[in-house]
């Protein structure tokens, strides 16, 4: 059976229009049709499924200027009253996507206004659709459509559709609702000092949180729908005059080129708009903190919001950006020295096991005699070479890590900790691995957790095994060749035209104030060169003045 044609125009007959809309959703159980009657007697209104007990009470119409009525009821001149209509209508919506209280309140207002208008104009006939759109409900909340496709799209976004007998078309009332998660502290980007709010799954809430931090009329947003089936709302945000317009245009072009049936998370879009699909490191950053998005927008980047996920994409992205945390800017500038520790942990997590394999297998002469004798004594009963030993320990730790993530939180951490202690101690006691190897693998795992960006940590987990294989094959020479190949790969990457290794390669001295170290805020006078080329000045030059004396 072929799906119904959603581009059909909505007919003037109420019965036909309801049948058409019902066919679009295939008689789904959550598709609700609620009939009503406008302009009837109080008893008829009382029988309406929308009315409350208060609507059945007699209505006293004030004389004179009708000041006691709904605003706008008596504003229509007699000579502009349209042709007769029956007043029969129906409200259509998707259960669970609308705010039931808002829909009920608007319908009660509509029925009351219709009664008042009828009693005030007993000798006239009127068009109920015009009454609803221009008198009963504020005009900015209503929208007129003429096709079933437009009506269905609006209903799937949380709108209520009103159909009237004799009116060829429909009126939309935006009443989004349903259960949603409130604003909470981010789970993956915690900080000691700074805001405690994180994004939610509702895109409009996320954009509003950013606007509260960037109160500037130049903050621009552009919305798209991506996905032939899911029709996911995607919004691109940037600050006009700060962001490079060529980058903004390129982001929009790549988003509009996406032709896929579904977009369920921002990761779908990330893989489709990044410059290099098979890059070892991500070239598009993501975050769930509004303050991080605001800071990146002020530097000239572009943010991509996806409805249904709390993670926002940031582009362009550079390598050094993944070693920066939000609280680096909330503490004094001396806290920026922690970035050197993160960089050290980056090399430990990538080269730790490989360096141990290379030293113990090929380059024993580089070790002090006492340490060499100690390591030889530990490995005396181990039946495997260092590479197999390290491979077993790394694979075991990866299994424990994944088990800790997938298990319920109540037992996940306990299983991972107890499993690591029990398996590590049992392996040493059984003579399968040496104690030094357990220390190396544990230190590597801890260093991996220091990296703020989870995507970079995943890349390190892959590179670690590659460098272990290079060390087992060629020793330190193999690791050196692998490191040079990695540098060449990083240097070749681009993120929306911006070199991934900037500002190191190409080197720019004035952009080094916020890379490996974070200098005081007052010294970072200009924005990064590659993100904002026209409006680079953040503040006036000069150091803040000290007070001249005591007051």
Tell me the per-residue pLDDT of 520-537, one tens digit each, with 9 for 90 and over.
888 888 888 888 777 778
- Are 101 and 32 within one domain? yes
Q: Which of 210-214, 239-243, 377-381, 498-502 is predicted with the least confidence, judged by mean pLDDT?
A: 377-381
Distance in angstroms (rounded) separating the CA atoms of residues 347 and 146: 61
CA distances from 88 to 12, 82, 113 (A): 12, 16, 15
> Mean of the pLDDT values across residues 184-195?
86
Distance in angstroms (rounded) separating the CA atoms of residues 398 and 400: 5
Distance in angstroms (rounded) separating the CA atoms of residues 286 and 114: 51
Percent of the chain with pLDDT over 90: 34
- Are 312 and 369 within one domain? no
- Strand spans (E) along 283-394: 285-287, 302-306, 312-315
Our count of domains for the chain comes to 3
- Are 472 and 340 within one domain? yes
DSSP-assigned letters across all residues of 224-256:
EEE-TTT-EEEEEEEETTTS-HHHHHHHHHHHH
Residue 55 structural domain: 14-174
Nearest by Cα to 321 from 181, 499, 448, 486 = 499
Q: Which residues of 374-408 are buried (b: 16+ CB within 10 A; e: fewer)?
A: ebeeebeebeeebbebbbbbbebbeebbeebeeee
Task: Report the pLDDT value the prediction gives residue 541, as an integer from 0 to 100.
Answer: 67
Is the alpha carbon torsion for 319, 321, 325, 331 positive or negative?
positive
Whole-model pTM over 0.85: no
Percent of the chain with pLDDT over 70: 80
Q: pLDDT digits over 536-546, tens only?
A: 787 776 676 66
What is the residue-averaged pLDDT of the chain? 81
> Mean of the pLDDT values across residues 419-424?
72
Task: Report the pLDDT value the prediction gives residue 4, as an integer from 0 to 100.
Answer: 46
Q: Which of 457, 480, 499 is the last residue of a domain?
A: 499
Contacts of 97 (CB under 8 A, 6+ apart): 155, 156, 157, 158, 176, 177, 178
- Tokens 């809430």 locate to 205
Residue 530 falls inside a structural domain: no
- Are 289 and 437 within one domain? no
Residue 4 falls inside a structural domain: no
Asked whether the beta carbons of 320 and 454 are under 8 A apart, the reply is: no
CA distances from 500 to 57, 320, 436, 496 (A): 71, 9, 37, 9
Residue 369 falls inside a structural domain: yes
> Mean of the pLDDT values across residues 227-249?
92
Q: pLDDT digits over 91-114, tens only?
A: 899 988 888 888 887 777 777 776
- Are 263 and 363 within one domain? no
Q: Which of 284, 317, 350 is the last residue of a domain?
A: 317
- Are 305 and 395 within one domain? no
- Are 163 and 207 within one domain? no
- Are 346 and 491 within one domain? yes
Q: Which of 60-74, 159-173, 313-327, 470-484 is predicted with the least confidence, judged by mean pLDDT?
A: 60-74
Residue 305 falls inside a structural domain: yes
pLDDT at residue 130 above 50? yes
């Amino acid at each position: 059976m072929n799906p119904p044609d959603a581009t059909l125009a909505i007919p003037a007959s109420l019965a036909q229009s309801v049948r058409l809309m019902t066919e679009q959703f295939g008689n789904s159980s959550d598709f609700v049709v609620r009939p009503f009657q406008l302009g009837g007697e109080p008893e008829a209104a009382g029988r309406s499924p929308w009315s409350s007990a208060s609507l059945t009470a007699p209505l006293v119409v004030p004389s004179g200027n009708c000041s006691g009525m709904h605003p706008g009821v008596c504003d229509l001149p007699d000579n502009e009253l349209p042709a007769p209509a029956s007043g029969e209508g129906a409200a259509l919506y998707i259960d669970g996507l609308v705010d039931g209280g808002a829909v009920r309140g608007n319908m009660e207002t509509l029925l009351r206004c219709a009664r008042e208008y009828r009693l005030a104009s007993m000798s006239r006939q009127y068009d109920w659709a015009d009454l609803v759109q221009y008198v009963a409900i504020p005009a900015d909340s209503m929208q007129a459509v003429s096709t079933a496709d437009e009506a269905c799209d609006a209903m799937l976004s949380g709108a209520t559709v009103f159909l009237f007998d004799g009116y060829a078309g429909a009126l939309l009332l935006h009443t989004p609702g349903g259960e949603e998660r409130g604003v909470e502290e981010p789970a993956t980007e915690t900080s000691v000092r700074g805001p405690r709010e994180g994004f939610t799954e509702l895109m409009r809430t996320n954009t509003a949180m950013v606007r509260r931090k960037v109160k500037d009329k130049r903050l621009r947003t552009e919305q798209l729908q991506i996905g032939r089936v899911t029709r996911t709302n995607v919004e691109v945000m940037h600050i006009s005059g700060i962001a490079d317009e060529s980058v903004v245009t390129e982001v929009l072009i790549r988003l509009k080129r996406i032709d896929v049936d579904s977009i369920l998370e921002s990761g779908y879009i990330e893989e489709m708009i990044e410059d290099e699909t098979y890059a070892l490191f991500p070239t598009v950053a993501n975050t769930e903190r509004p303050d991080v998005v605001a800071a990146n927008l002020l530097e000239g980047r572009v943010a991509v919001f996806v409805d249904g996920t709390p993670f926002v994409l940031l582009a362009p992205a550079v390598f050094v950006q993944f070693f920066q945390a939000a609280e680096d800017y909330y503490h004094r500038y001396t806290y920026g020295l922690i970035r050197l520790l993160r960089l050290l942990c980056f090399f430990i997590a990538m080269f730790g096991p490989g360096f141990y394999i290379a030293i113990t297998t090929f380059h024993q002469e580089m070790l002090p005699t006492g340490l060499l004798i100690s390591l030889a004594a530990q490995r005396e009963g181990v039946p495997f070479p260092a590479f197999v030993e390290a491979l077993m320990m790394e694979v075991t730790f990866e299994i424990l890590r994944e088990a800790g993530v997938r298990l319920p939180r109540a037992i996940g951490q306990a299983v991972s900790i107890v499993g690591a202690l029990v398996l590590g101690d049992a392996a040493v006691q059984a003579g399968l691995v040496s104690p030094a190897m357990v220390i190396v693998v544990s230190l590597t795992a801890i260093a991996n957790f220091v990296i703020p960006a989870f995507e970079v940590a995943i890349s390190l987990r892959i590179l670690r095994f590659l460098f272990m294989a290079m060390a087992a094959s060629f020793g330190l020479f193999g690791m050196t060749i692998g490191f040079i190949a990695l540098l060449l790969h990083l240097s070749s990457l681009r993120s929306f035209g911006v070199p991934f290794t900037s500002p190191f390669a190409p080197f720019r001295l004035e952009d080094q104030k916020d890379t490996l170290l974070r200098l005081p805020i007052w010294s970072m006078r200009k924005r990064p060169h590659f993100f904002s080329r026209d409006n680079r000045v953040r503040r006036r030059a000069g150091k803040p003045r000290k007070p001249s004396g005591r007051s």
